[in-house]
Amino acid sequence: MNMTKREKTLISVLLVAVIIMVHFYFGYKYKQSRALHLSELEELQTKIETYRMIDANAELTKDEIEWVNQYSPAVESFQNTQTNLLNFLASSSKTLGFTASVKKLTPESDMDYSESYYRTVKVQLSARATEKEIYQWLVQIHQPEKMRVLAYLKLSPPTNDSNLINCQISVEQYFVPE
C-alpha cells in the first residue's frame, strides 16, 4: 500500500500527538502516584516518631507502674476504708501522746469518680501538740506505699501556749472499690 506524502505527514502528526498525549497522561499519573506515596511516607514517619515517644515514655514510667502494681491497695468498701483510716489516725496520735479531732469527713457522694480506677477517702483533722510529736505523726500518716497521703497541712502557733503548735491536716486514703 502506497501512501502519499500528505497521508504520511498526517499519520506522523497523529502519532506525535498520541505520543505527546500519552506522555502527559502518564506524567500526570506519575505525579499523583508520587504525591500519594510521599504523603504515606510522611504519615509513616509521623507514626514512627509517635511510637518512639511512646516507647521513651514507657521507659520513664516503667518504674512508676511497677511501684503502683506492687503497692496497689486492696479491694474494699468506702465505709471500711474510712473506718480504718479514722482508727489509724486516732491510734497514731494517741501513741504519740495527744488527741486529734476530726473536723470533716467527706462523704462518698461528694466524690467525683467519673474517670478514676481508685477511690479516695478524705478526712480533715486538727490537733495540738509539741512540734516533735506533730512531725512524728505526719511521718506516720504520709505513707505512699500504703496509698495514704497528706494532702493539706497548716501549722500555726497557738495563742496561749508557746510549747504547743496547732496543726490542721487533710489526709487521703486511696482504695479500689468493691
Q: How far apart, in whole angstroms, are the C-alpha atoms of residue 127 and residue 175?
A: 25
pLDDT of residue 1: 65
Q: Are residues 88 and 67 in the same domain?
A: no
Q: Are residues 97 and 61 in the same domain?
A: no
Q: Are residues 3 and 56 in the same domain?
A: yes
Q: Are residues 166 and 92 in the same domain?
A: yes
3-state secondary structure 76-135: CCHHHHHHHHHHHHHHHHHHHCCCEEEEEECCHHHCCCCCCCCEEEEEEEEEEEEHHHHH
Enclosing domain of residue 156: 78-175
Please write the tens of the pLDDT for every residue from 85-104.
Answer: 999 999 999 999 898 888 88
pLDDT of residue 157: 87
With bands split at pLDDT 50, 70 and 90, how would you rate the model's confidence at 78?
confident
Please give the model's pTM, rounded to 2 decimal places. Answer: 0.63
Using CA atoms of 17, 23, 26, 27 in order, give the dihedral in degrees to the nearest 10. -130
* Proportion of the chain above pLDDT 90, given as a percent: 53
Q: Which of 42, 71, 100 is the last residue of a domain?
A: 71
Please write the tens of the pLDDT for every residue from 9-40.
Answer: 999 999 999 999 999 999 999 999 999 999 99
pLDDT of residue 117: 79
**For position 139, which CATH number holds?**
3.30.70.60
Count structural domains, the chain. Answer: 2
Q: Are residues 55 and 136 in the same domain?
A: no
Q: Are residues 170 and 89 in the same domain?
A: yes
